[in-house]
């Protein structure tokens, strides 16, 4: 007989406590602790998934040898989606697609499902949030009504598992969303951590046994009312986040974990009336409104995964009337801005303590690469001194606390992309490996090799 215990579980981070509290002691979130009843033994999923081999039976051990070197892939033909997954879907794997409500997750996955189904692969789309009529209306708007996607609204995991066990094994099963799933043997309400964990692990192990690719959609919420998809990140093979800023039509699909491919890879989409359109050349898009000779802007030659992307960094430095001046960022990390400001003050004698500082990455992209520091510093100085960055110039390099500019990877790829987009000059860390020896290098610094900068004509 299963033993039952009452637990108080934080819906934000999954921490378990013996008592209710207004604030989670682990993650600090407020009003996110919910009482859940959990069956301790057997494991939460035991009634759903039959576990082979009982007590005393020897486990099988196998060798590392494999016939194929790379995991087999199923391409969806949505090339930006395939790029982020590392070349297509891997049979028998699980992918989590997280994002804020309304960002476009259902739209993206319906498009991916339809693209795959049109290629002849059997695809199942389970929508726990919308009625089939709503999904059909969306498909009609996207011009995908004819795609042979099997549509369902089942949310009971035991029913899903038994329907998927009969007949032809699908290539792809999409569950939209994981927060609507529930299992009868778990007493917690749908959307709680216990349900989320139990249902996800049952579906994931079923997908691995049957060999289909499972995509779980998860909403990220700030209020903590619904258990965050973070608690199932460790169970899945690939974690993708769909991001974007309100007011921007660009959407970015970012891989943050991938057992079958590179992470930090991004796919860029544009949300329009007819769904998500792939953006094949994101640099051109992010720079489409870039104005040369405008103070406070600098173009950063960045890398997102394996792809170089040029993006405009905008800064506004204005005298502050506040005791503690404001520092605000969009698409940038606050601590990194504080660090650049501190380095400018301490190492370059630039006084910013009496100024409000705003830093914005154009187009809704979120920069995480330290290589963007130099461009951000240039934008800040350009705004402070009201002097534009020289025309057709791009920058990259990491600013260290000593004030040195550190070398970064993929210099050649960044320069190639910049040249392709019409930039004629790049400012980069001195000594950064630029393969083409015939490039006309002119040192713009005081002659120091390491820690300084150099200028390269493209
Ligand atoms: P949706 O895919 O439902 O988001 P999620 O599943 O992440 O909650 O997309 C919701 C938003 O996208 C909604 O505000 C309307 C907008 N949208 C478009 O602009 N164009 C379209 O073709 C579609 C289908 C949606
Ligand atoms: Mg949705």
**For 119-141, what is each residue's pLDDT tens digit?**
999 999 999 999 999 999 999 99
Q: Whose CA is nearest to atom 11 of ligand 1?
A: 102
103 alpha carbon to ligand 1 midpoint, in Å? 6
What integer pLDDT is reported at residue 236 of this predicted model? 95
Q: Please name the residue that has the structure tokens 């903590």.
A: 224
As a whole number, mean pLDDT of residues 427-437 equals 73
Whether the predicted pLDDT of 274 surpasses 70: yes
Ligand nearest to the CA of 109: 1
Q: What are phi and psi of 364, to 5 degrees?
A: 90, 10
CA distance 341 to 351: 9
What integer pLDDT is reported at residue 42 of this predicted model? 45
Summarize pLDDT for 211-262 with one digit per residue, the tens: 999 999 999 876 545 567 888 999 999 999 998 876 778 898 999 899 988 8
Summarize pLDDT for 355-369 with one digit per residue, the tens: 999 999 988 888 989
By three-state DSSP, how is residue 348 classified? helix
67 alpha carbon to ligand 2 midpoint, in Å? 39
What integer pLDDT is reported at residue 443 of this predicted model? 46
CA distance 398 to 406: 5
Continuous segment of H or E residues that includes residue 141: helix 132-141
Q: Is 102 in the pocket of ligand 1 (CB under 6 A)?
A: yes
Q: Whose CA is nearest to atom 2 of ligand 1?
A: 104
Summarize pLDDT for 253-264 with one digit per residue, the tens: 999 899 988 887
* Candidate of 98, 107, 174, 229 to mutate for ligand 1, largest count of ligand atoms within 8 Å of Cβ: 107
Q: Is 277 in the pocket of ligand 1 (CB under 6 A)?
A: no
Mean pLDDT of the chain: 86
Which atom belonging to ligand 1 lies closest to the Cα atom of 108? Answer: 2
Whether the predicted pLDDT of 317 surpasses 50: yes
Which amino acids are annotated as binding site for ATP, given as ranges?
99-106
Q: What residues have a C-beta under 5 A from ligand 2, the ion?
A: 106
- End-to-end Cα spacing for the chain: 73
pTM here is 0.80
What ipTM score was computed for the predicted complex, to two decimals? 0.96
As a whole number, mean pLDDT of residues 256-281 equals 88
CA distance 429 to 373: 11
Whether the predicted pLDDT of 111 surpasses 90: yes
Alpha carbon dihedral 271, 273, 274, 275, in 10-degree steps, equals 30
What integer pLDDT is reported at residue 70 of this predicted model? 67
Q: Do residues 91 and 213 make contact, with C-beta atoms less than 8 angstroms apart?
A: yes
């Amino acid at each position: 007989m299963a033993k039952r215990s009452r637990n108080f579980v934080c819906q934000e981070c999954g921490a378990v406590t013996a008592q209710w509290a207004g604030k989670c002691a682990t993650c600090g979130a407020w009003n996110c602790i919910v009482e859940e009843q959990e069956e301790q033994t057997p494991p939460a999923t035991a009634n759903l998934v039959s576990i082979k081999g009982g007590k005393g039976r020897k486990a099988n051990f196998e060798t590392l040898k494999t016939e194929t070197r790379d995991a087999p892939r199923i391409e969806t033909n949505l090339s930006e989606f395939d790029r982020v997954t590392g070349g297509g879907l891997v049979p028998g794997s699980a992918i989590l697609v997280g994002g804020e409500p309304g960002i476009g997750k259902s739209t993206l996955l319906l498009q991916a499902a339809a693209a795959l189904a049109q290629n002849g692969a059997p695809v199942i789309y389970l929508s726990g949030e919308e009625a089939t009529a709503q999904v059909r209306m969306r498909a009609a708007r996207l011009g995908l009504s004819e795609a042979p996607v099997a549509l369902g609204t089942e949310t009971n995991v035991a029913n899903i598992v038994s329907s998927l066990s009969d007949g032809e094994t699908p290539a792809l099963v999409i569950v939209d969303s994981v927060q609507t799933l529930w299992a009868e043997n778990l007493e917690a309400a749908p959307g709680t951590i216990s349900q989320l964990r139990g249902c996800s692990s049952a579906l994931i192990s079923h997908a691995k046994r049957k060999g289909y690719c499972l995509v779980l959609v998860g909403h990220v919420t700030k209020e903590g009312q619904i258990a965050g998809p973070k608690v199932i990140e460790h169970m899945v093979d690939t974690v993708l986040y769909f991001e974007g800023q309100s007011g921007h039509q660009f959407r970015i699909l970012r891989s943050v974990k991938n057992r079958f491919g590179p992470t930090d890879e991004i796919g860029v989409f544009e949300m329009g009336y007819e769904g998500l359109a792939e953006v094949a050349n994101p640099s051109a898009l992010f720079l489409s409104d870039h104005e040369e000779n405008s103070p406070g802007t600098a173009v950063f030659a960045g890398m997102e995964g394996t792809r170089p992307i040029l993006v405009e960094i905008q800064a506004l430095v204005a005298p502050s009337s506040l005791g503690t001046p404001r520092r605000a960022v969009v698409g940038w990390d606050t601590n990194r801005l504080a660090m650049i400001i501190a380095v400018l003050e301490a190492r370059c004698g630039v006084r910013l303590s009496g100024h409000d500082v705003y830093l914005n990455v154009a187009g809704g992209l979120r920069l995480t690469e330290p290589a963007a520091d130099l461009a951000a510093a240039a934008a800040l100085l350009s705004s402070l001194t009201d002097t534009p960055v020289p025309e057709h110039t791009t920058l990259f390099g990491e600013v260290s606390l000593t004030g040195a500019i550190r070398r970064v990877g993929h210099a050649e790829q960044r320069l190639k992309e910049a040249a392709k987009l019409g930039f004629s000059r790049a400012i980069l860390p001195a000594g950064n490996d630029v393969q083409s020896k015939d490039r006309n290098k002119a040192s713009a610094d005081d002659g120091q090799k390491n820690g300084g900068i150099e200028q390269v004509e493209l």
